[in-house]
C-alpha cells in the first residue's frame, strides 16, 4: 500500500495559519491525495483532496509539490475546534475507494 | 440526511459472547466500509462492500469476525466469540460509487470485552 509520512504532533496558536506537511515519495501517477481529520471522540471527516493542482475549499487549502512527493494542508486561521488528528492518505485508483490510514498528525491549538 | 447511523454506540460484553454491530449507510451510497480503531494499531480497514457484495475482506482479523450486507441500507459486523483484544471503536463509513468520492463516517461503536 502507498505510504505517507507525517509528524506525530504539531502545535499552533489560535487564529494563526497552520501548515501540516505530508511526505509521499512513493506516490504513483494516479494516486489522489486525501486529507481527513478526526476530532476527539468522533469518526474521521473529509477535509480536502487533490491530484496535481493546489485545491481550496471552505475548510482548508491543499498545496501539492510539483513532483507530487509531498503536500501540505493549510488551515488559514486555526480555531480551538480545529484541534484534531489530521490524516494524509493516498487513495489508489484501482483499489475501489480504500483508505489506508497512517498515524496522522495530532494538532493542538492554544488560545 | 441523517448521515451514517451506527448502533449500539456503546457495548460492554463478556469474553466468549457474540457481539453484533449495526450500520445504516447514507441513502444512495454504493460503498460501505468497516474500520476498527485502537490505540496500538490506529484505524484499520476491515472489509468493504460495493453494491452489497464484499469486495475486500483482507483486513478481517480472523474467522471470529464476519460481516454481511443483506441490502443497500443495512450491514452488520459480528464477532463470535468475542475476546478482550477485540475491544476497540468500530466505525462504519459509506460513499458513492466513484473512486474518488469522499467517505462519510458514522459516530462509531465503542466495544469493551471483559
Indicate the SS3 state at residue A62: strand
Reading the block at residue B66, the C-alpha cell is 464476519
Q: Indicate the helix (H) or strand (E) that contains A72.
A: strand A70-75
| Residue A40 burial (10 A CB sphere; 0-12, 13-18, 19+) | exposed
At A61 the pLDDT is: 97
- CB neighbour class for B63 (10 Å; exposed up to 12, middle 13-18, buried from 19): exposed
CB contact B33 to A (< 8 Å): yes
pLDDT along chain B (114 residues), means of 10: 92 97 95 94 93 93 94 97 97 81 92 98
Report the 10 Å Cβ neighbour count for B97: 13
What pLDDT sits at residue A109? 97
pLDDT for the residue numbered A91: 82
Contact B13, B80 (CB under 8 A): no
Answer yes or no: do A97 and B99 touch at CB < 8 A: yes
Chain A residues near residue B31 by CB distance under 8 angstroms: 96-97
CB contact under 8 A, A44 and B100: no
Distance CA A17, CA A77 (A): 5
CB contact under 8 A, B42 and A43: no
Cβ-Cβ contacts under 8 Å, B33 against chain A:
97, 99
Q: Which residues have CB under 8 Å from A58's CB, separation 6+?
A: none
- Model pLDDT, residue A96: 63
B100 near A CB under 8 A: yes
Q: Is B58 on the interface with A (CB under 8 A)?
A: no
Q: Distance (Å) from the C-alpha of residue B61 to the closest C-alpha of chain A?
A: 16
Give every residue of chain A whose pLDDT is below 70, as ranges: 1-2, 93-97
Q: Does A14 touch chain B (CB under 8 A)?
A: no
How much is the pLDDT for A30? 83
Give the pLDDT score at B25.
97
pLDDT at residue A29, rounded to an integer: 84
Amino acid at each position: 500500500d502507498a505510504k505517507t509520512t507525517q509528524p506525530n504532533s504539531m502545535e499552533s496558536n489560535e487564529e494563526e495559519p497552520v501548515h501540516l506537511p505530508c511526505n509521499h515519495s512513493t506516490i504513483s501517477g494516479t494516486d489522489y491525495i486525501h486529507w481527513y481529520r478526526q476530532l476527539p471522540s468522533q469518526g474521521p471527516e473529509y477535509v480536502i483532496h487533490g491530484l496535481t493542482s493546489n485545491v481550496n475549499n471552505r475548510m482548508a487549502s491543499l498545496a501539492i509539490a510539483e513532483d507530487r512527493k509531498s503536500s501540505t494542508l493549510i488551515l488559514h486561521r486555526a480555531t480551538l475546534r480545529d484541534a484534531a488528528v489530521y490524516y494524509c492518505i493516498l487513495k489508489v485508483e484501482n483499489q475501489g475507494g480504500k483508505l489506508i490510514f497512517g498515524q496522522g498528525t495530532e494538532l493542538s491549538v492554544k488560545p | 440526511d441523517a448521515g451514517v447511523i451506527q448502533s449500539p454506540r456503546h457495548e460492554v460484553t463478556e469474553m466468549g459472547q457474540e457481539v453484533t454491530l449495526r450500520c445504516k449507510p447514507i441513502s444512495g451510497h454504493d460503498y460501505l466500509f468497516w474500520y476498527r480503531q485502537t490505540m496500538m494499531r490506529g484505524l484499520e480497514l476491515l472489509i468493504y462492500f460495493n453494491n452489497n457484495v464484499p469486495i475486500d475482506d483482507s483486513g478481517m482479523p480472523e474467522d471470529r469476525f464476519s460481516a454481511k450486507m443483506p441490502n443497500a441500507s443495512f450491514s452488520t459486523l459480528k464477532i463470535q466469540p468475542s475476546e478482550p483484544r477485540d475491544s476497540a471503536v468500530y466505525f462504519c463509513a459509506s460513499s458513492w460509487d466513484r473512486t474518488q468520492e469522499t467517505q462519510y463516517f458514522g459516530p462509531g461503536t465503542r466495544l469493551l470485552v471483559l
